[in-house]
Amino acid sequence: MNAAKRLEIFRRLHEDNPEPMTELAYTTPFELLVAVTLSAQATDVSVNKATAKLFPVANTPEAIYALGVEGLSEYIKTIGLYNSKAKNVIEACRILIEKHGSQVPDNREDLEALPGVGRKTANVVLNTAFRQLAMAVDTHIFRVSNRTGIAPGKNVVEVEKKLLKFVPKDYLLDAHHWLILHGRYVCVARKPRCGACRIEDLCEYKAKTSDD
């Protein structure tokens, strides 16, 4: 795909949604960190339902740490893998309290040192909470990048690097949100809704559908 096509794709995505945001509910970097950690292999809707009950009761490292694994598990047991996620969040809270003054670090190294925080979660926090140029590639973004031809790659790291290289600079900071929303609602996994797609004429996917 050439640069002119990519520029027009992101121009249209920006035109349709000038200020895209994550669908995870949060008000602080810590709440976002917890929500993203809980969202692994779970839907944002299920995470938001759980945190809507959790955060009014506990939304700081100290408050959640005080709940303990069992206490936290009660709030998040509707989410997949809740036991291991509860252990990770509690341990992450301990590290934040002891090593970071209860503040979420704004750098990759310290974020990825937290239990349950991998490259993707760190990228979401860096980009969304701290507005740094970071590209979190989940299944939706991986699919859209490959299917459209925007940034094809064999694995998530390859796609991440290509997106950082090829997405026009003016759109890079919000590209993560546009691509994830496009993959979630239009360029869906089973059968893309090409008939309802704003960038269908620019997309290089061969097996287009008429679905809208």
* Mean of per-residue pLDDT scores for the chain: 95
Query: 198: pLDDT confidence band, cut at 50, 70 and 90?
Result: very high
Identify the pLDDT of residue 211: 76
Per the annotation, the verdict on 162 as an active-site residue is no
pLDDT at 196 over 90: yes
pLDDT at 97 over 80: yes
Binding-site residues, in ranges, read 187, 194, 197, 203
pLDDT at 81 over 90: no
**Check whether domain 29-130 has CATH 3.40.30.10, yes or no:** no
**What is the average per-residue pLDDT within 127-154?**
94
Q: Start-end ranges of CATH 1.10.1670.10 in the chain?
A: 3-20+135-202
| Angstrom distance (rounded) from CA 144 to CA 192 | 10
**What is the average per-residue pLDDT within 174-200?**
94
| Per-residue pLDDT tens over the stretch 33-42 | 999 999 988 8
**What is the average per-residue pLDDT within 75-94?**
94
CB contact set of 183 (below 8 Å; sequence gap of 6+): 139, 140, 141, 143, 144
**CB-side exposure of 59: number of CA atoms within 13 Å?**
16
Binding-site residues for [4Fe-4S] cluster, in ranges, read 187, 194, 197, 203
Identify the pLDDT of residue 112: 96
Identify the pLDDT of residue 1: 87
Per the annotation, the verdict on 120 as an active-site residue is yes
The sign of the torsion formed by the CA atoms of 167, 170, 173, 178 equals negative
Identify the pLDDT of residue 32: 97
Helix (H, G, I), strand (E, B) or coil at 13: helix
Q: Which of 120, 165, 170, 174 is catalytic?
A: 120
Q: Start-end ranges of CATH 1.10.340.30 in the chain?
A: 29-130
| Angstrom distance (rounded) from CA 72 to CA 83 | 9
**Check whether domain 3-20+135-202 has CATH 1.10.1670.10, yes or no:** yes
